[in-house]
């Protein structure tokens, strides 16, 4: 069974971009399409999210200036991968938390 990688990016106030990804295990065989259908309605304008709200690392480059920078990151896509898992949650567990809404 292939793992699923979530790729995303951060664009700062000067339009500099930082790219990142998180790899989840996928023991139930969730498809990329199914994962995307579950995630899209939880994104702001079907594109943006605050990674800390979902237990994902932020991609801010130093120095972060809260006066001009923001917390919103951009979802790029999901893809199947043979890369090693980088998040202890299964993709289904991650998406369940997103759909229900994480409590901070």
Number of Cα atoms under 13 Å in the Cβ half of residue 90: 11
**CA 51/CA 17 separation, integer angstroms:** 15
C-alpha triplet 5, 89, 24: angle, nearest 5°? 15
How many structural domains does the chain have?
A: 1
SS3 for 54? Answer: helix
The whole-model pTM stands at 0.89
Model confidence pLDDT, tens digit, residues 18-64: 999 999 999 999 999 999 999 999 999 989 999 989 999 999 876 77
pLDDT of residue 80: 98
Is the pLDDT at 102 greater than 70? The verdict is: no
Domain extent at residue 59: 3-100
Contact 35, 25 (CB under 8 A): no
If you average pLDDT over every residue of the chain, what do you get? 90
């Amino acid at each position: 069974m292939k793992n699923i990688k979530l790729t995303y990016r951060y664009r700062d106030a000067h339009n500099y971009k930082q790219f990142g990804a998180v790899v989840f295990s996928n023991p139930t065989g969730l498809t990329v399409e199914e994962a995307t259908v579950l995630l899209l309605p939880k994104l702001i304008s079907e594109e943006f999210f605050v990674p800390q709200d979902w237990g994902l690392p932020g991609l801010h480059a130093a120095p972060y200036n809260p006066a001009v920078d923001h917390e919103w990151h951009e979802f790029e896509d999901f893809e199947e991968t043979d890369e090693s898992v980088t998040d202890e949650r299964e993709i289904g567990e991650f998406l369940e938390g997103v759909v229900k809404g994480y409590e901070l």
